[in-house]
Amino acid sequence: MKKFTIKQISVTGITLLLLLLFPLVITQTYLIHVMILVFMFGMLGVAWNIMGGYAGMFSFGQAAFFGIGAYTSSFLLVTFQINPWIGLIAGGLVAALMAAAIGYPCSNLRGHYFAIATIAFGEIVRIHFNNWKLVNAAEGITIPMMDESLANFMFHSSKLPYYYIMLAFLLLALVICYFVANSKMGYYFRAIKESHDVAEVLGVNVVRYRLIAIMVSAFLSAMAGTFYAQYILYIDPESVMLLAISVQIVLISMLGGAGTIMGPVIGAAILLPISELTRIWLGHKGTGVDMLIYGFLITLISVYQPQGIWGLFANIGKKKNG
Amino acid sequence: MDKSTCLEVKGLSKWFGGLAANLDIDFSVEEGEIVSVIGPNGAGKSTLFNCITGFYKPNSGKVSFFGKDITKFRADKVCNLGIARTFQIVQVISDMTVLENVVTGALLRYTRIGPATEKAEEILTFTGLIDKKSFLGSELTIADKKRLEVSMALATQPRLLMLDESMAGLTIVELRNIMNLIKKIRDQGMTLIVVEHVMEAVMEISDRVIVLNSGKKIMEGLPKEVVSCQEVIQAYLGDKYRAVC
């Protein structure tokens, strides 16, 4: 494992401190909400990155895992009064199982073909939930009001607890991604990304490692889903399973830098404020303007900086050092 | 079976539709030998490699490695048992450094990055790429890429190393270097099977030569015997080469 430089430790420490202090200084609820979304999409991006950025499996179906997480915990809570924290783990496990079920038959699909399969998967899941009476079909699920407490995963008086919980989730995802990237698994994922042949010739069980990547990714995405359900307190297929969400997750990761640990977080920190700001400035008329800006940025990035914005930082660092 | 038989191929056939890429091929390789497989383009050399290493499933026949039947094994399992190979079209991980590439190979025998890195550096020193260890895979010349691919294969700590045209397209100096490397690898006690077109290299390094033509084995023998065999000359080397002999 690599040793950290003092600079890296101090930058990380200061950033963390600033994030911890942010909601205490900035008290506008709206800005805190935007930050929560940045963390949440950051986490979804990190989850995508494990399979997409490292293992080269471009998933356009992440919203399905996100939605399955949200639905599992909410369904368990509403029907069986099961605590959402348990629902969080259950949602992760269900999503990971679904990921394995879809990942295994897709083991031989590479590149675009895998991406197409994940679009189909995401849409099948969404349409299924839209018509599934057991989970209220298109009506969605309203999370019942409970007492405000950490144990209940519910807070009414302030967004602060949500802010810190989501920040903690994001950090957890980053730590997992860090350990994956710097372990045998990370090396094998990158070999698989290069080509299945080169991985196999080095003794990598490609099917197994692809399944691990997709399952870890699904678990983390589902955690974010449960968070979303407990935060917004209402879910329906159109709000948690849309293809647009999947696409946004991919864009965030690609813009920030696929295959880097911090890339997706940087991507989320840039793109989400853009969508929120256009929504404020342009209101309903502005629908799609954020996508227009995304498209423009993605074009710029793919032409001039294919490794994403994080790659830009890394390059500057390299030039400075040598 | 003889204990020192490293690889034994019996009646191996591989069909692509109506085309027999390999037809009823028999041969065996003793431990510590360098065996070359030669033949004109399309003779089935690479197919043979792919059948042995689990990338293709042969239609019939049997492949045994130190007495163990590996015919139906997946490629990664074959590698795990101790057969490493390189590809005709060189395959390295382009966005990894040279060192990381070799570490990935070494991780087959180690769980932790630290010891795998030590092993990788040892191998790079052996193959002479250590000075370029922080270059990216995509930044290497073709000769260095081939050398890296051999290093990656060695990192999986094989007992049998199979090189598919590791010398094609190299300059004379590069050729010399890789030939020396192959001999060095053999001196470490490894068995090698080499597919090669460069005849001067084949003549110099091989203990035995197997000649394929149109999917069939037409000859097997010492390098000297092979180049003087009438059938081989006609099928592969052409009349011009006979004049030289």
**Per-residue pLDDT tens over the stretch A53-106:** 999 999 999 999 999 999 999 999 999 999 999 999 999 999 999 999 999 999
What pTM was estimated for this model as a whole? 0.91
Mutate to test the interface with A, among B56, B93, B154 (most CBs of A within 10 A): B93
Q: Which residue of A has its CA nearest to B102?
A: A202
Residue B192 within any structural domain of the chain: yes
Strand residue runs (E) in B78-207: 83-85, 160-164, 191-195
Is A35:A163 a contact under the CB 8 Å cutoff?
yes
Tell whether A191 is within 8 A of chain B (Cβ). Answer: yes
Residue B217 within any structural domain of the chain: yes
Nearest to B91 among A188, A198, A206 (CB): A198
Residue A261 within any structural domain of the chain: no
Residue B29 within any structural domain of the chain: no
Between CA A202 and CA B84 the distance in angstroms is 8
Phi and psi at residue B5, to the nearest 5°: -75, 120
State chain A's mean pLDDT as an integer. Answer: 91
Mutate to test the interface with B, among A54, A178, A180, A198 (most CBs of B within 10 A): A198
> Alpha helix (H) ranges present in B44-90?
45-52, 75-81
Is A199:A192 a contact under the CB 8 Å cutoff?
yes
Give the tokens for residue A162: 């949500």
A107 pLDDT higher than 90: no
Is B48:B37 a contact under the CB 8 Å cutoff?
yes
Residue A220 within any structural domain of the chain: yes
| B contact set with A (CB within 8 A) | 53-55, 74-76, 79-80, 84-87, 91-96, 100, 103-105, 107-108, 110-114, 116, 152-153, 155-156
Indicate which CATH number applies to the domain containing B141.
Answer: 3.40.50.300
pLDDT digit string (tens) for B191-219?
Answer: 999 998 888 888 889 999 999 988 999 98
Residue B150 within any structural domain of the chain: yes
Nearest to A202 among B55, B108, B111 (CB): B108
Residue B225 within any structural domain of the chain: yes
ipTM confidence score: 0.89
pLDDT digit string (tens) for B78-137?
Answer: 999 999 999 988 999 999 999 999 999 999 999 999 999 999 999 999 999 999 999 999
Tokens 């990547």 found at: A213
Residue A19 within any structural domain of the chain: no
pLDDT digit string (tens) for A122-143?
Answer: 999 999 999 999 998 889 999 9
**Cβ-based contacts of B85 with chain A (< 8 Å):** 201
Indicate the burial class of A27 (C-beta count within 10 angstroms; 0-12, 13-18, 19 or more): exposed
pLDDT digit string (tens) for A260-285?
Answer: 999 999 999 998 998 888 888 887 77
So what's the pLDDT on residue B3? 52
The amino acid present at B40, given as its one-letter code, is P
Residue A257 within any structural domain of the chain: no
Is A64:A125 a contact under the CB 8 Å cutoff?
yes
**Cβ-based contacts of B53 with chain A (< 8 Å):** 201
Contact pairs from chain A to chain B, CB under 8 Å: 75
Residue B96 within any structural domain of the chain: yes
Residue A300 within any structural domain of the chain: no
Is A12:A262 a contact under the CB 8 Å cutoff?
no
Mind telling me how many Å the CA of B140 is from chain A's nearest CA?
16
Question: In chain B, how many domains are there?
Answer: 1
Cross-strand partners of A225: none
Residue B130 within any structural domain of the chain: yes
Strand residue runs (E) in chain B: 5-16, 19-30, 34-38, 60-65, 68-69, 83-85, 160-164, 191-195, 208-213, 216-221
Mind telling me how many Å the CA of A206 is from chain B's nearest CA?
8
Give the tokens for residue A191: 């070999």
Q: Kindly state the percentage of chain A with pLDDT values over 90.
A: 67
Question: In chain A, how many domains are there?
Answer: 1
Give the tokens for residue B124: 């790079």
Q: Is A201 within 8 Å of B91 when comparing Cβ atoms?
A: yes
Per the structure, the complete domain to which residue B223 belongs is given by: 34-58+69-244
Between CA B104 and CA A192 the distance in angstroms is 11
Residue A149 within any structural domain of the chain: yes
- For residue A139, give the H/E element and its range: none
Between CA A88 and CA A73 the distance in angstroms is 6
Give the tokens for residue A196: 């299945």
Which CB contacts under 8 angstroms, 24+ apart, belong to A299-302?
A: A301/A254, A301/A255, A302/A254
Residue B148 within any structural domain of the chain: yes
